[in-house]
Amino acid sequence: MKDGISGALCPNVLPYAGIINSLCLSRNFFPLLVGAIKMNETGLGQGTVTENDVSSDGGRGIMQLTSSYPANWQDPTTNIAYAIDHFLIPAYQTWIAAPYSLQGEDLVRAIAAAYNEGLGTAEYDHDKYSNVDYGTTNEYGARALQHYLNLEAGRAE
């Protein structure tokens, strides 16, 4: 545990668990958190990511990258690594620092909300409404937290 978040590996029932676990281990980041975000974005889909995997809102690949993405976003390793490096780690660094100093489930929800609506918007929602999920899609942070807890229990639901 670090900052109240488990460092456990994603269970193999989660598609792309091997890639997620490997990338997170090399970055000292949280596999279950990345797995939970992946579940919110693309569920349990296991298919090969192609140029056809662009959602109606422009999300690309396994992690549904929208605001920025690498040229080779179709590669699962590149897609997941980009999400970790450009969105999840910066959100984590923001939420563990003052004035927020979040931990545990609150930290998981805040990182997920920032992934969904952008870090600045999630911070605004936290500060103004005391709810990082205020502007997210369908309580994104709460759903990610539930996926995280399921993965921590060895389930992908």
Round to whole Å and give the CA distance between 50 and 43: 16
Average pLDDT, the chain: 91
Domains of the chain: 17-152 (1.10.530.10)
What does the DSSP 8-state code read for residue 48? P
Report the candidate in 49, 148, 66 with the shortest Cα–Cα distance to residue 115.
Answer: 66
Q: Write the pLDDT tens digit of every residue in 24-79.
A: 999 999 999 999 999 998 876 655 555 457 787 888 988 999 888 989 988 999 99
Per the listing, tokens 């668990």 go with 17
Q: Are 11 and 17 in contact (CB under 8 A)?
A: yes
Q: What is the pLDDT of residue 48?
A: 54
